[in-house]
Amino acid sequence: MTPLDALADEAGIARLWTDADRAKQQVSDESLRAILSALDLPAESDAEIAESRARLKARNAALPKLVTIDCGAPLTLPESLGDFDPLDEAGASVASPTRPGYYRLRHAAGETTLAIAPPRCRAIPKRGWGVAIQIPSLVGEGRAFGDFALLAQAVAALGRCGADAVALSPTHAQSLDDPGRFAPYSPSSRLALNGLLADARCEGATADLIDWQSAGPAKLAALRTQFAAQNEAADFAGYLQSRARAGLDAVQQAARDAGMAIGLIADLAVGVDPAGEEVRDDPGAFLRGLRIGAPPDPLGPQGQDWGLTSYSPDGLRDRGFAPFIAMLRANIPRGGGIRIDHAFGLQRLWVIPEGRPASEGAYLAYPFADLLRLIKLEAWRADAIVIAEDLGTRPPGFSETLAEAGIYGMAVLPFSRDRKGGFLPASAYPDTSVAMSGTHDTATIAGWWSGRDLEWNATLNRGGDTAAKRAQDRATLWRVIGKGAPRPADDDPAPVVDAALAFLAATPCPLAIVPIEDLLGLVEQPNLPGTVDEHPNWRRRLPAPIAALLARPEVARRIATLNSERTL
């Protein structure tokens, strides 16, 4: 092992990695040096490498500010800690920390926090179903786009129909300096909510697509007018957060009142805008000079640069993981659930030096065991379920580790296939995952069957499936879900939607989640990955208010099927 290899290994950077085709790949020396430099570990010469290795060794030998263990595991602490006096969260002395929770260990060198995690996250309480909703798509009188008030109405209506959960895309804060931009997976801060989703009447156009350039500023102006009419809050930003938090809490209460077993399932974005509020408030907690993304694979031959940053492993350790804990607490709805976007990032993230193509990145290791225990602990405190977005190339043992922790994976219909590309039967879906007909990033069932996604790919020169491949896949899917009925025509997706939802409801998965677009049989999808303005991402409105949509005969029929299959 060369000195450069040794430094990279000690810093948690993988020189070798396995791609989606299971082929071994190697990171170049140039990329390693660029990433190490961004991590404040210069490596341009043997002397720099030696100095960086010494600095890294000293950093790793420092007394940890937080130690995590699993409940029931032996408490083994660094010898440098010496004797200590444990205190519980109320400040009372305890003989021996054994129950889940946070403890302060006072010792000669200061204090160390001990986090004891429960063995597993909360289990999904019953065999149920839910709906995924893009909040802005909701339609209501006096609303330029959907907000928490309309979401509360939708949740109540779905609860009355028998749904147990409503899954959301991230509700993280967006920049108030640019209210005409809506990008839920590129937030300014994951510690705050999107204030534009607070309740305020704002008349706007009712076209099929939201014009964020006019609707965002108009909603912000309406909220400022609302703020000016009271003297209860000292500043507008604080007022917005108070209103938004009250609105979101009211949604979860509406879910409870409607009898939902879970209610809201929030979504946690994998990263933040490098120029956003969260990074500005504590830049040392984040990767600097690096962006996160994905390595080259069949869906992205050049790799992906998401234009985001995320926590620095050392930044988290230096802060006793306080930013990560605060982020979890800001986003887990009490009694509900949370979905972790790109959950592989808990173990490793593909990091890319600024100014370089995504293909010149490398995997950076994260303190997986610590992050997993903190998730278990915070979910336990909130009595919430946890779902991990585990789609793509999994690190070895990742799924098994999540299952042991009681964290559910995702079994998404378009991707649930055998090694030959055939669709899996319902019985093959794991009971450790949530069954889904699609996500915000995939074609709807109706859009996939009718080939609408192929039309978009052709228009935008994106590649993807050919018409011949889609014809073959339609036949394969129908053999699995059609129960022997004649295959519908390509331009008749409604029977396919019916069959697909019945199929998912019959899987062993404890929860089936259906995007509202699939429940309604819509053709267009909310987001097309890899596009910005070429496709109307996050702009589509639903065709009518939720009450009218749920009353449609075909929708009522699908809901009845979900209720029937899920109670078997």
pLDDT band at residue 63 under the 50/70/90 scheme: confident
In terms of Cβ atoms closer than 10 Å to its own Cβ (0-12, 13-18, 19+), residue 520 is buried
Query: Torsion angle of alpha carbons 40, 345, 317, 34, nearest 10°?
Result: 0
Per-residue pLDDT tens over the stretch 140-169 = 998 999 999 999 999 999 999 999 999 999
pLDDT band at residue 299 under the 50/70/90 scheme: low
What percent of the chain has a predicted confidence (pLDDT) above 70? 99
In terms of Cβ atoms closer than 10 Å to its own Cβ (0-12, 13-18, 19+), residue 372 is buried
State the pLDDT at residue 84.
81
Q: What is the DSSP string of 181-216?
A: ---TTS-SEEEEE-GGGS---B----SSB--HHHHH
Q: Is the pLDDT of residue 75 over 90?
A: no
Euclidean distance between CA atoms 132 and 506, whole angstroms: 19
Q: Is the pLDDT of residue 33 over 90?
A: yes
Phi and psi at residue 361, to the nearest 5°: -90, -170
Regarding predicted confidence, which is higher, 533 or 450? 450
- Of the candidates 308, 328, 375, the residue with the CA atom closest to the CA atom of residue 347: 375
pLDDT band at residue 127 under the 50/70/90 scheme: very high
- Of the candidates 20, 31, 6, 1, the residue with the CA atom closest to the CA atom of residue 359: 31
What average pLDDT score do residues 205-223 get?
92
What token pair was written down for 479? 């053999």
- For residue 69, the SS3 value is strand
Amino acid letter, 406: G
* Alpha carbon 108 to chain centroid, angstroms: 41
- For 49, 67, 252, 264, the CA distances from 249, given in Å and listed in that order, are 51, 32, 5, 10
Q: Is the pLDDT of residue 297 over 80?
A: no
What average pLDDT score do residues 319-346 get?
97
Q: Do 540 and 137 meet the contact criterion of CB atoms below 8 Å apart? A: yes
Q: Do 82 and 92 meet the contact criterion of CB atoms below 8 Å apart? A: no
Per-residue pLDDT tens over the stretch 245-254 = 999 999 999 9
Per-residue pLDDT tens over the stretch 261-295 = 999 999 999 999 999 999 999 999 999 999 999 99
Q: Is the pLDDT of residue 233 over 70?
A: no
What average pLDDT score do residues 488-497 get?
98
Regarding predicted confidence, which is higher, 533 or 196? 196
Question: What predicted TM-score, i.e. pTM, was given to this entire model?
Answer: 0.96
pLDDT band at residue 298 under the 50/70/90 scheme: low
State the pLDDT at residue 296.
85
In terms of Cβ atoms closer than 10 Å to its own Cβ (0-12, 13-18, 19+), residue 94 is middle
Per-residue pLDDT tens over the stretch 432-472 = 999 999 999 999 999 999 999 999 999 998 888 899 999 99
Per-residue pLDDT tens over the stretch 410-434 = 999 999 999 888 999 999 999 999 9
State the pLDDT at residue 95.
85
What token pair was written down for 297? 């694979």
